[in-house]
Structure 1
Amino acid sequence: MMASIGEFDPLNTRVPATKIEVTVSLVVLYIQAVGTKEWREFGRTEVIDNTRNPDFVRKFVLDFFFEEKQNLRFDVYNVDSRSCNISKHDFLGQTFCTLGEIIGSRGGRLEKTLSGIPGKKCGIIILTAEELSNCRDIATMQLCANKLDKKDFFGKSDPFLVFYRSNEDGTFTICHKTEVIKNTLNPVWQPFTIPVRALCNGDYDRTVKVDVYDWDRDGSHDFIGEFTTSYRELSRGQNQFNVYEVRHESKGVVCCFSVHSSYEDLVTLNFTVAIDFTASNGNPSQPTSLHYMSPYQMNAYAMALKAVGEIIQDYDSDKLFPAYGFGAKLPPDGKISHAFPLNGDSDNSNCVGIEGVLEAYFQSLRTVQLYGPTNFAPVINKVANCAAEITDGSQYFVLLMITDGVISDMVQTKEAVVNAASLPMSIIIVGVGPAEFDAMEELDGDEVRVSSRGRLAERDIVQFVPFRDYIDRSGNQVLSMARLAKDVLAEIPDQVVSFMKSRGIEPRPALSSSPLAEVHQHM
């Protein structure tokens, strides 16, 4: 992660910019551990002299976890001395964000306003992030060769390729072998995929060495030749052949067509919420109700919604979330609905941010009558209809359903899940309260894929968890929410990738010549 700062005005905003100099500036990054309020210093940039618009070179390398909310704080200082004690320097401003906010911003670039000095405009800080190495990134290669050297006495050659990744100490580590093509000097190997991390450890300019051998049954393969390249060079060959001369005593060329794959900049997540308003939750005005609105703490529904929503929202560009309820009688005529908008607007169910969803949820509790039954299919189908309209891979839909009991329409729900499994869509179901949720496990296809009317779901798109398994015994709600979010969101990245691959959707290249930040991503 890298930072640059613009329009500092820590002294006097009325003085022209050309009249002010920041002697030496510095940014300090702090991170906050999950479930605590304590900030720990992670690192500092270099100091930059005499500029109001410093562009820092030093990078912060962080581990990124999609399923966790990783809070960051950036403090900016004017350095007055050589002291390492940060309190000895002048504070110029600070800003807060999450790592997900930066990664989820367009182009991985986030502008934040600095604050912290009353009555002063502190300027802005620009944060950029880029994956250093990502296990989801793959290179798909198709290779062929022409006029290789003849090595077999009674035939031609049986060529195959061996790929090596260069190490920091100058040695090489084997990372891939192609199949053997028998009796030819002009082989065409099958396309293969290899993680970019395995090929070059995420360093696009690191040397990749490729050896060409003639296969022998006794294992004493004959060396035909070699060539070197880099992943950046391979990636520039998209939609055309890269041609490499095989160097040794022999002759021949190897042609390579490669594709870099990354879904990082391709997909926008669309987050939808559905909340159980059936009577089994209890009277919302009573403390025993799962919907009870206590002035002192959040109920289980609000906790689950906030835990998952606050992470997902960083990857939803417009921060507008459709929110529905199911199983309630609606005013004025008492009609039962299984997919009513929480904000009361049948033409536009969007709520602004997770706080807007919570506000609409609490308002609905005051206006509708909890009833039943617990039908899932209507709201699943509603989101699936939206997902069916956009199947080009540019958008992916995540439905969070929070419920307290057994599904009443299991047959219809299983059919809805099977249909949705072919769409860019995932379903997260969080069970709250003490009920037994054994039937829910049937929808979570980790062990046995969901089926309906003899059809198997194309993908496993449902993740079910009972919230009670994540409740912190000491009563720490923040820690309980973090545990829940980490578990239920962990499968989303793989589900996104599985849809893309099932439809043959090629991600856009993610290579860039600009010096962006480096972030390890574990997804």
Structure 2
Amino acid sequence: MSHSSYPFLFGRTEVIKNTLNPDFVRKYILDYFFEEKQNLRFDVYDIDSKSPDLGKHDFLGQVYCTLGEIVGSPASRLEKPLGGIPGKTCGTIILSAEELGNCRMNAYAMALKAVGEIIQDYDSDKMFPALGFGAKLPPDGRVSHEFPLNGNVENPYCNGMEGILEAYHQSLKLVQLYGPTNFAPVVNHVARYAAAVEDGSQYFILLIITDGVISDMAQTKEAIVNAAKLPMSIIIVGVGQAEFDAMVELDGDDVRISSRGKLAERDIVQFVPFRDYMDRTGNHVLSMARLAKDVLAEIPDQLISYMKSRAIKPNPVPPPYSTCNNPETTPL
């Protein structure tokens, strides 16, 4: 099993003897897979018990796929013929991730949970619109960069982080992940909401979780420049081993982002690579806490910068609540 850019052996299954239909149970290998677009390769051998060297075993074939193909297949069960030997097929391999949602969380879900569980406490009703991008949608296979994870175009809202995670996992079973990857549609989507409430009563935070590939850089930069004058911030979490030069450029910490000669009014983007927060000792609680801390670090200053730019002042502090000594009216 390998990554397309950085080949790496994740592990080997146990050897199943005396059967032509082995059932491998090394499900925990999936714990290493952090992105749906990650390319995987499964090699199958007929083992020579006298030799520990794979080169001396009989090679039966191999299968290429992505984690997204496995999770997105019916019942999270993908069947593929073993290839690799010209003119010969040595059977079919079945890749199953039926227990994926119960036994592991991928990087997308981990980042969403770590950041979202903090952000949601600043929202009164805990109902959040959740959008996907870069996928073919049923039933006609059209490519979309702005589709509701819950499948409801009229009401894309999900109830809290648990509702978003549930919609995300269900969506993986229905859509086919597909390029190109365009950011501008979702940035403009949130910007339309923010443009309707510029009085300081609401502030919008867009969390984008991506593998780092971006196909509409110019359009995205223009969308961010336009959004910089609105009450909104953008958090980008990059997953996988891709180069994140484009994401760093969007962050704008060193050089303020611009489009068509126009500088963004303020910096509204914060980017962090997820791989910097993976704790290989297994202590995901601490590593995800660090992730949340860093991605949210700039939000307070970004919010204040918007309010100051519009001369919006905080509401007056209400007078202290006072009561008499009557126990029936004293608050608990």
Give the TM-score normalised by structure 1.
0.44
Q: For the residues of structure 2 that align with 1:483 and 1:297, how far apart are their CA atoms?
A: 20
Percent pairwise identity: 72
Match for residue 321 of structure 1 among 125, 128, 138 = 128
Query: Would you say 1:463 and 2:270 are equivalent positions?
Result: yes
Q: Which amino acid aligns with 1:356?
A: G
| CA shift digits 1:155-208 (9 cap, x unpaired) | xxxxxxxxxxxxxxxxxxxxxxxxxxxxxxxxxxxxxxxxxxxxxxxxxxxxxx
Unaligned runs of 5+ in 1: 1-276, 516-523
Tell me, what secondary structure is at the counterpart of 2:287?
A: helix
Q: Is the 8 A contact 1:402 1:429 kept in 2?
A: yes
Query: Would you say 1:421 and 2:228 are equivalent positions?
Result: yes
What displacement does 1:296 show? 1.9
Q: For the residues of structure 1 that align with 2:269 and 2:130, how far apart are their CA atoms?
A: 19
Q: Which runs of 4+ in 1 moved over 6 A?
A: none
In structure 2, the CA distance between the partners of 1:455 and 1:278, relative to structure 1 (3 Å rule), is: farther
Q: 1:30-49 residue pairs with structure 2 within 5 A?
A: none
Q: Which amino acid aligns with 2:181?
A: T
Match for residue 105 of structure 2 among 290, 294, 298 = 298
Higher share of residues assigned helix: 2
User: Which of the pair has more CA radius of gyration?
Assistant: 1
| CA shift digits 1:270-323 (9 cap, x unpaired) | xxxxxxx984573332799xxx93532211010000000100111100100000
Q: Which amino acid aligns with 2:143?
A: I
| CA shift digits 1:380-403 (9 cap, x unpaired) | 000000100000000000000000
| CA shift digits 1:231-250 (9 cap, x unpaired) | xxxxxxxxxxxxxxxxxxxx
State the match for 2:150 in structure 1. Answer: 343
Match for residue 370 of structure 1 among 174, 177, 182 = 177
Q: For the residues of structure 2 that align with 1:280 and 1:339, how far apart are their CA atoms?
A: 22
**Relative contact order, higher structure (CA 8 A, sep 6+):** 1
What displacement does 1:357 show? 0.1
Q: For the residues of structure 2 that align with 1:478 and 1:355, how far apart are their CA atoms?
A: 17
Unaligned runs of 5+ in 2: 1-34, 40-65, 77-94, 323-332
State the match for 1:431 in structure 2. Answer: 238
What displacement does 1:479 show? 1.4
Query: Would you say 1:489 and 2:296 are equivalent positions?
Result: yes
State the match for 1:405 in structure 2. Answer: 212
Q: 1:216-231 residue pairs with structure 2 within 5 A?
A: none
Match for residue 189 of structure 2 among 382, 400, 415 = 382
In structure 2, the CA distance between the partners of 1:464 and 1:427, relative to structure 1 (3 Å rule), is: same
In structure 2, the CA distance between the partners of 1:408 and 1:280, relative to structure 1 (3 Å rule), is: farther
Query: Would you say 1:513 and 2:320 are equivalent positions?
Result: yes
In structure 2, the CA distance between the partners of 1:481 and 1:278, relative to structure 1 (3 Å rule), is: closer
Q: Is the 8 A contact 1:278 1:373 kept in 2?
A: no
Q: 1:6-21 residue pairs with structure 2 within 5 A?
A: none
What displacement does 1:473 show? 3.0
Q: For the residues of structure 1 that align with 2:225 and 2:133, how far apart are their CA atoms?
A: 21
Query: Would you say 1:283 and 2:90 are equivalent positions?
Result: no
Q: How many residues align?
A: 236
Give the TM-score normalised by structure 2.
0.68
Query: Would you say 1:355 and 2:139 are equivalent positions?
Result: no
Q: Is the 8 A contact 1:279 1:372 kept in 2?
A: no
Q: For the residues of structure 2 that align with 1:441 and 1:412, how far apart are their CA atoms?
A: 16
What displacement does 1:481 show? 1.1
Q: For the residues of structure 1 that align with 2:199 and 2:36, how far apart are their CA atoms?
A: 36
Q: For the residues of structure 2 that align with 1:312 and 1:293, how far apart are their CA atoms?
A: 26
| CA shift digits 1:452-497 (9 cap, x unpaired) | 0000000100000001111123111111211100000111111110
Q: Which amino acid aligns with 1:483?
A: R
Q: For the residues of structure 1 that align with 2:38 and 2:227, how far apart are their CA atoms?
A: 28
